[in-house]
Copies of this chain bind each other. A is one copy, B any other.
Amino acid sequence: MNYPNGIKKTSHNQKKLEINYKNRGMTLESDINISNEYYRDIDKAFIYKKPTPIKITKVDYPSRDKTVIKEAFFTVPSTTDYNGIYKGKYIDFEAKETKSKTAFALTNIHPHQIKHIENIYNHNGIAFLLIRFTSLNETYLLTAEKFINYLKVTEKKSIPIKYFKENAYLIKDGYKPRIDYLKIIDNLIGGI
């Protein structure tokens, strides 16, 4: 193919384009946001990402109807990132990516968040983790039950990929929705 000014696309460039197309620069977060939007569009579930918690320390009022935050800091979240309703039930999860090919470091989940996941599980909510191993291009759903069980029996600071392979559910990438995690939840909670 000929380009303007006689520039020819090299195979090197094409390779780059392919990679970009394949991954689409999509993070787990944007995949989940798009999937949640789809679930809302088809009236299946209403699940949202919570706003990022921040502490506002300086605010400006340049005009009557405008407020500008001039200084704020990110704060440690006390709960998980996503929650909502599915079939009348409360659903709650945390999503994390890791570059590691061998394990998910537990430092990625704050102690407050672990306690929160336990609370939701104990109160019969649907709670889980969505963990993406970006280098493996694998995304797993690990239920609160399996997560808590693991924490009870280990002293390790991470969850090995083996534990995911044996105890979590691999989510295949799809089109609509991008990651159909509710399909797994359907199988887990049965015919509600």
Contact = CB atoms under 8 A, between A and B. Distances in A.
A69 B72 contact: yes
Contact of A69 (B73, B116, B123): B73
Contact of A71 (B53, B68, B89, B124): B68
26 contacts: A43-B119, A45-B123, A50-B51, A51-B51, A51-B53, A54-B54, A54-B72, A67-B73, A67-B74, A68-B71, A69-B74, A72-B72, A83-B84, A84-B90, A85-B90, A85-B92, A85-B120, A85-B123, A85-B125, A87-B123, A88-B89, A88-B90, A88-B123, A89-B90, A90-B90, A90-B91
Contact of A119 (B46, B88, B116, B125): B46
A85 B184 CA distance: 21
Interface string A106-125: 00000000001001101111
A78 interface: yes
Given A69-B54, A71-B70, A90-B88, A46 B116 contact: yes
Interface in A45-86: 45-46, 48, 50-54, 56, 67-74, 78-79, 83-86
A156 to B, nearest CB: 25
A71 B71 CA distance: 7
